[in-house]
Amino acid sequence: MCGRAYEPRFLFTWPNSRIAVMGPQQLAGVLSIVARDAAAASGKEFDEAKNAERTAAIETQSRCESHAFFMSARSTTTGSSTPSTPAHRPEASSLSAAHNNPVEGRRGFGVFRM
């Protein structure tokens, strides 16, 4: 529940997690509503076949790009962690790095999640 806008030092995900503002169906539905309203405002006829094509493409793209490994490759997250490999968990080294380095927050403390 923390993103890069809050400037965390590290941001990890589970390998099977999804990172997105909304689900693929919701995103495609919103964009379909926007396209339908734009067509109505300009007085043009709304093409349902083209809308179905666009909806399928948006859902596919959203499903692929919300995958944890895709987001890690885009530097949205620091990496992935699995509970099955506790000896190699990146959180341990991250906590050590955070403990041994001064906090550079606005008032001398970091992000608090409440």
| pTM higher than the cut 0.95 | no
Determine the angle formed by the axes of helices 24-42 and 48-65, rounding to 10 degrees.
150
> What integer is the mean pLDDT of 84-96?
66
Check pLDDT > 60 for residue 87: no
Token readout for 92 is: 């341990």
pLDDT digits (tens, 9 = 90+) for 10-65: 777 777 878 888 899 999 999 999 999 999 999 999 999 999 999 999 999 999 88
Domain boundaries, the chain: 1-19+75-114, 20-65
How many Cβ atoms sit within 10 Å of the Cβ of residue 51? 16
pLDDT given for residue 45 in this prediction: 95
The angle at the Cα of 100, spanning 1 to 71, to the nearest 5 degrees, equals 30
Beta-sheet pairing, 12-13 with 79-80: parallel
